[in-house]
Amino acid sequence: MHIKEKRKVSNTGKIADLCLNNSQVIYKGEKYPTTDINNLISEDHINLILYPDATSELNKEFIAKCDKPINLILLDGNYNQAGKMFRSEKILRKAKTIRLPLGQIRKCKLRSPLYPEQISTIEAILNALEIIGDNSANEYMEYLFNEMTLRLKKRGQNAKST
């Protein structure tokens, strides 16, 4: 996660991390890093980075060819931040870049995206886990995400009316 995302109340990566029992947030850009990014890549897994510019698509056919468990890596930040994180960390080149299928629709309107297919981190995780076949945390994540969206919208409406 880009360090600037850490302070945003609308950051959905933090919500996803709370819902998943086998996730880890590593902040990029901290003056004094508290976690080692070199632990991000697992030799016992297929390491995949969800990246919008990837040419390979995460789909059922791709998953069927996987002979190891999947270590899914997401770069949480805006498009420029994600690109910089990917280019600056050599360890990430050991992972395969993959994108979600085209046509993913943005359900939430926390921010105004440039393109309709730009979805939040939690939506990307929900979609990826559904494709991978791990839906154990999806219902709870979806509930928290919807609740967060509603509360932030109410907060914004209350601020406008005062």
Amino acid identity for residue 156 in this structure = G
Percent of all residues in the chain with a pLDDT value above 90, rounded to a whole number: 27
Compute the distance between CA of residue 141 and CA of residue 157 in angstroms, rounded to an integer.
24
Quote the pTM value.
0.82
How is residue 157 written in tokens?
Answer: 């409406």
Q: What is the pLDDT of residue 48?
A: 97
Strands 96-98, 46-50: pairing is: parallel
Is 160 a member of any domain?
no
Q: Say which residue, 115 or 99, is predicted with more confidence.
A: 99
Of 124, 148, 119, 157, residue with least CA distance to 8:
148
Q: How many CB atoms lie within 10 A of CB 148?
A: 20
In the Cβ-directed half-sphere of 57, how many Cα atoms lie within 13 Å?
7
Does residue 43 carry a pLDDT above 70? yes
Q: Are residues 40 and 91 in contact, defined by beta-carbon separation less than 8 angstroms?
A: yes
Is 20 a member of any domain?
yes
Where residue 9 falls among pLDDT bands split at 50, 70, 90?
confident
Is 93 a member of any domain?
yes
Q: Name the DSSP class of 92.
A: G
Mean pLDDT of the 46-72 span: 94
Is 109 a member of any domain?
yes
Q: What is the pLDDT of residue 141?
A: 84
Q: What is the pLDDT of residue 58?
A: 95
Is 162 a member of any domain?
no
In the beta sheet, which residues pair with residue 2?
28
Q: How many CB atoms lie within 10 A of CB 125?
A: 27
Is 159 a member of any domain?
no
Where residue 17 falls among pLDDT bands split at 50, 70, 90?
confident
- Summarised one tens digit per residue, pLDDT across range 101-144 is 987 765 665 566 666 667 888 888 888 998 998 777 788 888 88
Q: Say which residue, 1 or 117, is predicted with more confidence.
A: 1
Range of the structural domain that residue 13 is part of: 3-154
Torsion angles phi and psi, residue 47, rounded to 5: -90, 120
Is 60 a member of any domain?
yes
Give me the number of domains the chain comprises. Answer: 1
